[in-house]
Structure 1
Amino acid sequence: MFSSLRKTLLRRPPFLLTTLRSISTTTATATSNRPSFAASYLVNSCGLSPESALVVANRVAFETSARPDAVIKAFKSHGFSQSQISAIIGKGPQLLLASPEKTLLPKLDYLRSVGFSGSDLAKLIASSPYLLTRSLEKHLIPNFCRLRDFLRSDKNAVAAIRRSPRILQKGFEATVDPFVKVLRDHGVRESSIMWLVKCHSRTMINWYDRLEEIVEKTKGMGFDDPSAAKFPVAMLAVMAMSEWKWERKFDAYSRWGWSRDDAMSAFVKCPRCMTMSEEKIMAVMGFFVNEMGFESSFLLQHPRLISLSLEKRIRPRCLVFKHLSSHGLMKTKIGLTTLLTISDEDFLVKFVTPHIREAPYLLDIYREKKHMGTGTLLP
């Protein structure tokens, strides 16, 4: 019987073979076009776009929502928004299958315990979800402690990681140690190195391969003492600006009568004056020359003033200064540079509070202009 059936099947007409192949192809196509459970979940529960969901679904597969639901709940319990969770899953889809109790929550709790607030923690993980795949005991804790010991406080370590998560992701020895060694070898003071680690690690890590070259170039621009406090600021300026940007700054200063040598002289006195935008340079120079009546050479002698905020500091304080001078209320001789560079508290004590009786509106003038500069309303 089986032999007869086999012969019958072998003798089936060509159209039947074609029909069977067509049915098979149609079924396979329908199956491949039908969204998988994982892709549907990624769209509906994680907020991914259909296109992104299909890509992610090819990297992580699951047929029930139990584990992914628990993972999302863990993130939400630490204040993560839906958009942040979407970013995390998009970059690190394997985390959807991680154990919240064993893998995720201990790490999130540790990071929160050392000083990452809810918003900071969410931003950190959203930008670097790979952190949650590193061992807590063997990687995260030792590397955070190493950074904390170097910067001498949890707060400083958190600030450094917030700016450059790569430190914690790849480890202190792989990111910070190499450029610190170069800087120490060249005589950069320890306090400056700590400042660079805390505030500019991302730049230093990115430029490590050319750091020796940058140090030598900075020395050649007039900063021959790497132990000086302004040396790292000058070094960052050299890193940040291309030849084209330098020319733009030279051009901005030349409009106020400065030569290239003048601009470089100012740069050596105060490196920040060459890191300001052309718009900022023009605005500050214009204020001192056109509104305060100074020669542009005044700022050449005091280039630090160019780096101060025009709206938050320079303009409010100069208005007070002009008012006191015009009304004969300036009792003591003091340079404008001192008036502009002292702390807010000292400024109020020395130049506003003593004159409240003669000029009760002086405080209102100062506070109004200062708050206009910060874009906030008066309390």
Structure 2
Amino acid sequence: MIAIARRNLSFLLSNPNSFLCNSNVHVSPSIHFFSTSRIKRILIPSPEICDVLVNKHQFSPDLASLASSRLSKFRDPQRVDSVLSFLKENSFTTAQLQKLVIYNPRVLGFTIEGIISRFKVFHDLGLSSEEIAKMISNSPAIMHSSMENRINPRLSILKGLMGSDDDVARLLNRCPWFVVTDLEKTLIPNVEIVKSCGIPMEHILHLVYAYPRGFLIKPDIMRKSVDKAIEIGVPHTSVVFIYAVGVFSYTSQGMWEVKLKTLRDLGFSDNDIFKMFRMQPHAFSASGNKLKNKVELLLATGKYSVSNIAASPSALGFSVEKRIEPRIQILKLLESRNLIKKWPCLAVVLRSSDAEFIEKFVRPYYDEIGEELITQSCMLRAVRDESIRTDA
């Protein structure tokens, strides 16, 4: 193991970025652990810690060398082993542990008591061990933020806003960034901006949950999002206004212009586009390319026109793979067998639940085309199960 560590050290010193090219662990390029300036100050790896990481916890030799070299203060193999073993006992997977260590290897020098006290705060909210592990691996800064000065004050703000521990836990499951972001500079002023438009607090809380990251943006971006929704004519009192603000909060002006151009090129007028947005802003969450694919797929049927889509903009909010294409294939099959003479309106085709669609367009014709239909459509594998349950 010592020989391996020395070979890895020699290789890493001459090729500091090699790990980024060869590791199977997904790492954001922005993670500070691998910044060039820090790599230049790399210390000598600890063979004993490398041995623990590789042989007991399934780390790669490269990652083990890098991690142990960054532990300048706490170079205790027993502590490293106890920390990783404790985290595994608390539902952390090997991949999640690697993410933590990649973000900041100092976690390997933490005390078990300190980790327990940190976890207790989240357990007290009602989060399970699995949920805490997922939350921390998605936002590793939680492990390194001060409980007294950052995490606890932010949890207090969230409790005051959301109303209960359960609601805070539900929000953190959606977006753990709330405990590592300065809420007094983001969440609080953004809530006030939306509230100033006369939006009921219950609608605002719905938006916080539906678009959590949208409330962690700079307040000036939130103000522009609200102004944009007002400019397009989305009614303030409607829940749709909440969704419209949410869409604009993470859609830059450039991205918005791309979507407008895409729809215009497909034959939609500005009046069509803004009417669609007022009806179904969530559909505009998709990129310009995805919007284009959905519209082209519907137009290619020869059964639906631009005006049909404009009248049912919710169609653009559904997945091509999971809903639009499978249902179109089923209708084409029914038509080819002369089992239907006219295609139903777009809203009926796409807004129906799977159960409703099956009941209306599959079950009546199942004897004629059941096996062929199931073969052609992955979505309707459920048809066979549904038929079995009904027959039973």
TM-score after normalising by structure 2: 0.69
Question: How many residues are treated as equivalent by the alignment?
Answer: 337
Q: Select which of 215, 228, 236 maps to 1:204.
A: 215
Deviations 1:193-218 (A, max 9, x none): 22322232223212334322321222
Task: Return the offset for 1:75.
Answer: 1.0
What's the counterpart of residue 52 of structure 2?
Answer: 45
Secondary structure of 2:233's match? coil
What's the counterpart of residue 13 of structure 2?
Answer: none
Q: Write the distance in 2 (CA, Å) between the matches of 1:332 and 1:305.
A: 19
1:177 and 2:188 matched: yes
Q: Write the distance in 1 (CA, Å) between the matches of 2:67 and 2:77.
A: 18
1:98 and 2:110 matched: yes
What's the counterpart of residue 62 of structure 1?
Answer: 74
CA contact (8 A) 2:80 2:109 kept: yes
Higher mean C-alpha deviation, range 143-152 or range 324-333: 324-333
What's the counterpart of residue 270 of structure 1?
Answer: 280
CA contact (8 A) 2:49 2:75 kept: no
Identity of aligned residues (%): 22
Deviations 1:144-181 (A, max 9, x none): 57646755676653342134323234576665333222
Task: Return the offset for 1:222.
Answer: 1.9
Q: Select which of 307, 310, 315 maps to 1:305.
A: 315
Q: Write the distance in 2 (CA, Å) between the matches of 1:264 and 1:68.
A: 57
CA contact (8 A) 1:103 1:132 kept: no
What's the counterpart of residue 288 of structure 1?
Answer: 298
Q: Select which of 174, 199, 211 maps to 1:188.
A: 199
Higher mean C-alpha deviation, range 336-345 or range 318-327: 318-327
CA contact (8 A) 2:154 2:179 kept: yes
Change in Cα spacing, 1:159 to 1:44, as seen in structure 2 (3 Å) is farther
Change in Cα spacing, 1:96 to 1:243, as seen in structure 2 (3 Å) is closer
Unaligned stretches of 5+ in structure 1?
1-32
What's the counterpart of residue 226 of structure 1?
Answer: 236
Unaligned stretches of 5+ in structure 2?
1-40, 54-58
CA contact (8 A) 1:189 1:226 kept: no
What's the counterpart of residue 365 of structure 1?
Answer: 373
Task: Return the offset for 1:323.
Answer: 5.4
Give the aligned residue type for 1:178: P
Change in Cα spacing, 1:92 to 1:281, as seen in structure 2 (3 Å) is closer
CA contact (8 A) 1:317 1:366 kept: no
Give the aligned residue type for 1:96: L
CA contact (8 A) 1:74 1:104 kept: no
Change in Cα spacing, 1:256 to 1:355, as seen in structure 2 (3 Å) is same
What's the counterpart of residue 264 of structure 2?
Answer: 254
Give the aligned CA root-mean-square deviation in angstroms: 4.1
1:79 and 2:91 matched: yes
Q: Write the distance in 2 (CA, Å) between the matches of 1:363 and 1:294.
A: 28
Q: Write the distance in 1 (CA, Å) between the matches of 2:365 and 2:180.
A: 55
CA contact (8 A) 1:319 1:366 kept: no
What's the counterpart of residue 226 of structure 2?
Answer: 215
TM-score after normalising by structure 1: 0.71
Change in Cα spacing, 1:236 to 1:348, as seen in structure 2 (3 Å) is same
Q: Write the distance in 1 (CA, Å) between the matches of 2:351 and 2:287.
A: 21
Give the aligned residue type for 1:81: T
Change in Cα spacing, 1:117 to 1:368, as seen in structure 2 (3 Å) is farther
1:279 and 2:286 matched: no
CA contact (8 A) 2:247 2:284 kept: yes
Q: Write the distance in 2 (CA, Å) between the matches of 1:218 and 1:140.
A: 33
Change in Cα spacing, 1:360 to 1:168, as seen in structure 2 (3 Å) is farther
Give the aligned residue type for 1:128: S
1:337 and 2:347 matched: yes
Give the aligned residue type for 2:65: P
Q: Write the distance in 1 (CA, Å) between the matches of 2:83 and 2:301.
A: 60
Change in Cα spacing, 1:328 to 1:187, as seen in structure 2 (3 Å) is farther
Change in Cα spacing, 1:333 to 1:87, as seen in structure 2 (3 Å) is closer
Give the aligned residue type for 1:194: L
Secondary structure of 1:294's match? coil
Secondary structure of 2:230's match? helix
Q: Write the distance in 2 (CA, Å) between the matches of 1:172 and 1:246.
A: 27
Deviations 1:327-358 (A, max 9, x none): 776699964313421222233334433444xx
What's the counterpart of residue 164 of structure 1?
Answer: 175
Q: Write the distance in 2 (CA, Å) between the matches of 1:313 and 1:133.
A: 43
Give the aligned residue type for 1:84: Q
Q: Write the distance in 2 (CA, Å) between the matches of 1:216 and 1:250.
A: 18
Secondary structure of 2:99's match? helix
